Chain A
Amino acid sequence: MSVDRRTFLKGAAVAAAAGAAEVQAAHPAPEPPSDAVGMLYDATLCIGCKTCVVACREANGLKPVTPDWTDGLWDAPPGLDEHTKNVIELYREGDEQSYVKRQCMHCVDPGCVAACPVKALEKRKFGIVTWDGDRCIGCRYCQVACPYEVPKFEWESPVPKIVKCELCLHRIEEGGQPACCEVCPRGAIIYGTRKELLAEAKRRIAAKPDLYVQKVYGEHDGGGTQVLYVSHVPFEKLGLPVLGERGAAAATRSVQGTIYKGFVAPVALYAILAGVIIRNRRSGGGEA
């Protein structure tokens, strides 16, 4: 062999290191699409009337969820589930209290989209993350990949779907807006372009700095989301995770980009293995 083992290993290590450095630069966090729409939820305005929950059911043809304790009387989903794309939860600790609306965040760089091996979930029109039933293979990677635990799976259906908020795309396409935004009696959830909503969120915070937490959740969190939150209680208490500015999807891309960059690492790995085998054969052959 013209290259001895030592030299080869050295070369492989250098190539891998160089690849890793390059990848960080080659995978910048994506910007929100130019036509990105979204919603702004203001926890200080929400009165927990759940009109949005009812409207979401109607707009999306979802059946009510009546757990045993309700005796069939109420639609009381314990959280997001395969029949519930939108739910109001309550945070209460001592005197501190807030409602929080939960639905898909429509991430700028969604984990579910990165994880989906068949592009069933993708950012399509208006940056809305939609699910394509014709592509889905039911692997449920999206469920694991979502930092907000949003996509739900129809466990009881023989032809299960992934269920999550799609921002009422069918209504937006007809010139409407998401059902929850349309019916909210307090304007606690409003619809608009992400740009407008971000400006409005900042305006509200600036106007009442004593009331609001000095941050718009979703501006940068997890790479940014198209559904934004402003609140009077810390966001992590509302169940919005601390994610950092780089989303899980970006991290995945870095790792995968590094490993598979120019296909160097796999080739190097198999070359090493081949080297080991050849070496073993030679020594083994000598013994026999």
Chain B
Amino acid sequence: MARRERDVAVDGSLDRRDFLKVCTMAAAAVGLPASVAVKFVEAAEQGLKPSVIWLHGQECTGCTESLLRTSRPGLAELILDLISLDYHETLFAAAGHQIEAALQQAMEANAGKYVMVVEGSIPVKDGGIYCKIGGKTMLDLVHEVAERAGAIVAIGSCASWGGVQSTPPNPTGATGLPEVLEGKTVVTIPGCPANPYNFLGTVLQYVVLGTLPKLDGKNRPVMAYGTTIHEHCPRRAHFDAGRFARQFGDEGHRQGYCLYYLGCKGPQTHANCSVLHFGEVGTWPIGNGHPCIGCTEARIGFKTAIHDTVEIERPTPPDSYPPVEEVRHGIGPAAAGIAGLVGGALVGAGYMAAKKAVEAAPDDEEA
């Protein structure tokens, strides 16, 4: 039904306006200018929708679930109008050999152009036998699909750096995609689940402009992971003022004070959760009164205990001030008095020493 609508829209016989609206929303959601939306419509009208191949490894499908809950654009518009989702185990109606054939077909048809998305970590221990799809290990599958991919995106913390299953002792050798595909550029969109708007922004930019967003040292888009959660946290004013919740349910917690001492990892966690909510429920962990667990950071998420505190990455001034200190105004009377005493003592001592020396001199001569 939705596909038919899209076809009609592109044909120009029905609502081009609605389609343009969706594209503008998609562009705006990911921080691209409105002019890009027009390009996007043009591309769609020419039938140049990007092919997306989505693989699932060791994961909970939470990233897909959060993507299903996007409203700007909605999922139907996304997978039917904006992109061509050619392989996705969760969303596909097909199954078994049929779906595996679709994967091969999509790879043949769009070789060098398709966007490869991986959700979930890849077990590498014992030859990768702990995750198999269609008889192939996940390890082999990612190598195979990556070979002809135009862009590679790891969505979620599992695909980005291993996620919860990579926590020691890590029995399956769960590994992130960048490590498995060493040498290839893998854009990582960590998060548990990942913010779908960060994912859409990356994919749409690649689709429309043919470029990838600016990436940080961990290949995360700077637009989304450039600052810490702490930086734009709605509870930040409480932090600066030194107002903290000390226990779940205490007065400070009920007042909405800063959750730092409850173990909030916001000061070290690079992500835009505090400014771009997702899941379309109007709230987020810190908003609910739970400290950030640092799910986007390989060092922190599932590795640092939830209620342990972290160091502040870049301390800034508190909500208090040093008092004006009186600057000394020259030499005070006390100092002058002491200096006088010391000087006098020295002169006196000198005089006495000289006198003694003169008295002692005749004795020396006599001796």
Q: Do A and B come from one complex?
A: yes
Which one of A8-16, A69-77, A156-164 is at the interface? A69-77
A257 at the binding interface (Cβ < 8 Å)? no
By the criterion CB–CB under 8 Å, are B327 and A149 in contact? yes
| B141 CB → nearest A CB, Å | 46
By the criterion CB–CB under 8 Å, are B324 and A54 in contact? no
By the criterion CB–CB under 8 Å, are A79 and B329 in contact? no
Which one of B110-118, B179-187, B202-210, B312-320 is at the interface? B312-320
Known contacts A73-B239, A73-B312: A148-B321 contact under CB 8 Å: no
By the criterion CB–CB under 8 Å, are B312 and A76 in contact? no
| A79 CB → nearest B CB, Å | 5
For B328, the chain A residues whose CB sits under 8 A away are 149, 241
Known contacts A147-B327, A149-B327, A239-B326: A70-B321 contact under CB 8 Å: no
Query: Which of B311, B316, B325 is A72 in contact with, Cβ under 8 Å?
Result: B311
For A50, the chain B residues whose CB sits under 8 A away are 316-317
A99 at the binding interface (Cβ < 8 Å)? yes
By the criterion CB–CB under 8 Å, are A89 and B324 in contact? yes
Interface 1/0 per residue, B206-250 and A, CB below 8 Å: 000000000000000000000000000000000110000000000
By the criterion CB–CB under 8 Å, are A72 and B315 in contact? yes
- Interface SS majority for chain A: loop
For A91, the chain B residues whose CB sits under 8 A away are 323-324
B322 at the binding interface (Cβ < 8 Å)? yes
A237 to B320, CA, bound (A): 19
Query: Which of A48, A54, A240, A242 is B316 in contact with, Cβ under 8 Å?
Result: A54
Nearest opposing residue in chain B for A66, CB measure: B315
A143 to B206, CA, bound (A): 58
A142 to B103, CA, bound (A): 75
A120 at the binding interface (Cβ < 8 Å)? no
A64 at the binding interface (Cβ < 8 Å)? yes
A73 to B316, CA, bound (A): 8
A117 to B227, CA, bound (A): 47
| A265 CB → nearest B CB, Å | 20
By the criterion CB–CB under 8 Å, are B322 and A70 in contact? no
A115 at the binding interface (Cβ < 8 Å)? no
By the criterion CB–CB under 8 Å, are B317 and A76 in contact? yes
A237 to B317, CA, bound (A): 23
Range class of the A interface residue count: 20 to 34
B260 at the binding interface (Cβ < 8 Å)? yes
Interface 1/0 per residue, A88-130 and B, CB below 8 Å: 1111100000011000000000000000000000000000000
Query: Which of A74, A78, A237 is B322 in contact with, Cβ under 8 Å?
Result: A78
For B325, the chain A residues whose CB sits under 8 A away are 79, 89, 239
Which of A50, A53, A88, A92 counts the most B-chain CB atoms under 10 A from its CB? A50
For A79, the chain B residues whose CB sits under 8 A away are 322, 325
Range class of the B interface residue count: 20 to 34
By the criterion CB–CB under 8 Å, are B317 and A89 in contact? no
| A182 CB → nearest B CB, Å | 17
For B260, the chain A residues whose CB sits under 8 A away are 73
By the criterion CB–CB under 8 Å, are B312 and A89 in contact? no
A76 to B312, CA, bound (A): 13
| A158 CB → nearest B CB, Å | 25
For B326, the chain A residues whose CB sits under 8 A away are 239
A37 at the binding interface (Cβ < 8 Å)? no
Known contacts A72-B311, A149-B328, A242-B329: A90-B323 contact under CB 8 Å: yes
A88 to B321, CA, bound (A): 7
By the criterion CB–CB under 8 Å, are B322 and A75 in contact? no
A79 to B322, CA, bound (A): 6
For A201, the chain B residues whose CB sits under 8 A away are none
For A90, the chain B residues whose CB sits under 8 A away are 321-324
Nearest opposing residue in chain B for A54, CB measure: B316
For B324, the chain A residues whose CB sits under 8 A away are 89-91, 100, 237-239
A76 to B321, CA, bound (A): 8
Query: Which of A74, A147, A238 is B318 in contact with, Cβ under 8 Å?
Result: A74
For B311, the chain A residues whose CB sits under 8 A away are 72
For B329, the chain A residues whose CB sits under 8 A away are 241-242
- Mark B residues whose CB is within 8 Å of A: 239-240, 260, 311-312, 314-318, 320-329
A64-B315, A75-B315 known, 20 other contacts, Cβ within 8 Å = A54-B317, A64-B314, A72-B315, A74-B240, A74-B315, A75-B316, A76-B320, A76-B322, A78-B322, A89-B323, A89-B324, A91-B323, A91-B324, A149-B327, A238-B324, A239-B324, A239-B325, A240-B327, A241-B328, A242-B329
11 interchain pairs, CB-CB under 8 A: A70-B315, A73-B260, A73-B312, A74-B312, A75-B316, A76-B320, A90-B321, A90-B322, A90-B324, A148-B327, A238-B324
Nearest 6 Cβ contacts at the A-B interface: A90-B321, A74-B318, A75-B315, A50-B317, A239-B324, A64-B315
